[in-house]
Amino acid sequence: MGTSVTDSIYLGDMFGTAAMRAVFSDERRFGSWLEGEVALARACARVGVIPSGVVERIAAAAKIEVLDVTAMKAEYERVGFPILPLVHQLAKACGPESARWVHWGATTQDIVDTGLVLQIREGLALIEADLDQIIESVAALCRAHRDTVMAGRTFQQQAAPVTFGYKAAVWLDELLRHRDRLAEMKPRVLVGQFGGAVGTLSTLGQDGLRVLNEFCQELDLGVPRITWHTARDGWAELVFWLAMLCTTLAKIAGEVADLMRTEIDEVREPFAPGRGGSTAMPQKRNPISCPIIIAIGHRLRDSVSSQLTAMVQEHERAVATQPLEWLVIPEAFVLTSGSLKHSKALLSGLTVNAETMRRNLALGGGLLMSEAVMMGLAPRIGRGQAHDLVSRAAGRATDQGKTLREALVNDQDIMRHLTIEEVERLLEPANYLGVAAQMVDRVLERI
């Protein structure tokens, strides 16, 4: 049984997906290392550094099923470096003539880093597909509710009208920026690693760069200008991007959870019988996806700090930061997959209660239209005086338990400048949406 939520049999599927766990499983980890070793052999053979005849024997032996994982584990615990046991297993499997050419010119970190880049590439492909689905779901909300009027809220208080489509378009624009960042980030992250002991490829002499180019081409990875054994800014950017994406999803989930409150009841998570039920209160339909999404957002912000710590490395090989990355990156990917999974379900099936949104606009006696009235009055008497008059009327409405309309029409100083019809028009929320609809359209144009 797992000791963390990401590998727990009971909790794991709430915080991650099986597909992402498979990408960062031991089996895939060993597979990525073997891919790196085969690519290295092919690269060396193309340049003429090793005999071409040994490559296919190395490739034929580089299979997960030939590895004695129990023996590898025992050797790893003894020697402390993860690739040496794999090299011994691969050398044993491909025969003595080919064995001497295995791992030619490489160091442990070359294979570990490159293998993790291959896993990262697979993980990002899963994330990108999920992100695209979420973007489509949010875009559908924007289109469907472009003109659905609701209360805009600042500091948790009703402020002025917006539309739900406008709110969703703010989410959408942020998600689209994350998609842009992903495309921009990939060339900096999906880069091969091959440098040898101190990064200079000294074991290959003047053939080093040619082998490096062939190695990266074989794996379809970018070619680094210089070895990045101790330059981890690319992976820091990666983890920061994952954290930003999950924080955006946490922000959305936080708004949804708040709008689900009994007193507001403007949106609901997708419902299935029994989902969100309380062990104590039979009437409850609690948010279920939102808490997981929010928790993952909080957790990944901590991962950023750890990965930034891994950037601080000494000389040509650091003492402790590489194992820190082994802890941070797989967990960050698995948790991101969990956040995306819940967000896909949440946003594709979100229930939007337009009637309640409209009804909630009247809470507080229509006071959220105070700014609209002030701006309708301002061209006639100046903004400062208009603010004072409407503020006085709003205060009276609050103190006397009246609506804003009642307070306005009974204020001679205000009605000297406005007609009843103008007051009615100014108090209509749909008349005070500014360019919300046009903004929604501008965001949707980016899809």
Amino acid occupying residue 143: R
Contact 313, 232 (CB under 8 A): yes
Nearest Cα neighbor of 103 from 27, 25, 49 is 49
* Residue whose entry in the numeric block shows the structure tokens 């003894």: 78
Q: How far is CA 223 from CA 118, 185, 192, 208, 218, in A?
A: 14, 15, 6, 12, 11
- DSSP states of 165-216 as a string? HHHHHHHHHHHHHHHHHHHHHHHHHSB-----SSSS-GGGGGGHHHHHHHHH
**pLDDT given for residue 273 in this prediction:** 57
Query: Which positions are annotated as active-site residues?
Result: 278, 317
**pLDDT given for residue 280 in this prediction:** 42
**For the whole prediction, is pTM greater than 0.75?**
yes
Cα–Cα–Cα angle for 310, 302, 31, rounded to 5 degrees: 60
d(CA 316, CA 147): 59
- Below-70 pLDDT ranges, the chain: 1, 272-285
d(CA 204, CA 354): 69
Q: Torsion-angle region of residue 274: left (phi > 0), alpha (psi -120 to 50) or beta?
A: left
Given CA atoms 219, 220, 225, 231 in this order, what sign does their dihedral have? negative
Helical (H) or strand (E) element with 150: strand 149-154
Which residues, 6 or more positions from 441, have their beta carbon under 8 angstroms from its beta carbon? 146
Contact 342, 292 (CB under 8 A): yes
d(CA 51, CA 147): 70
Contact 164, 150 (CB under 8 A): yes
- Burial (Cβ within 10 Å: 0-12, 13-18, ≥19) of residue 347: buried
383-400 vs 370-381: helix crossing angle, rounded to 10: 140
Report the half-sphere exposure of 235 (CA within 13 A, side-chain side): 34
Q: How far is CA 74 from CA 30, 79, 80, in A?
A: 15, 9, 10
**pLDDT given for residue 275 in this prediction:** 55
Amino acid occupying residue 402: K
Which residues, 6 or more positions from 201, have their beta carbon under 8 angstroms from its beta carbon? 105, 194, 195, 208, 209, 211, 212, 227
d(CA 22, CA 26): 8
DSSP 8-state code for residue 230: T
Q: 9 — phi, psi (to 5°)?
A: -60, -35
- Burial (Cβ within 10 Å: 0-12, 13-18, ≥19) of residue 68: middle
Helical (H) or strand (E) element with 424: helix 420-426
- Burial (Cβ within 10 Å: 0-12, 13-18, ≥19) of residue 283: exposed
> Cα 255 from chain centroid?
17
d(CA 329, CA 107): 21
Contact 368, 159 (CB under 8 A): yes
Contact 389, 376 (CB under 8 A): no
**pLDDT given for residue 260 in this prediction:** 95
DSSP 8-state code for residue 161: E
d(CA 226, CA 250): 37
DSSP 8-state code for residue 52: G
d(CA 304, CA 330): 13
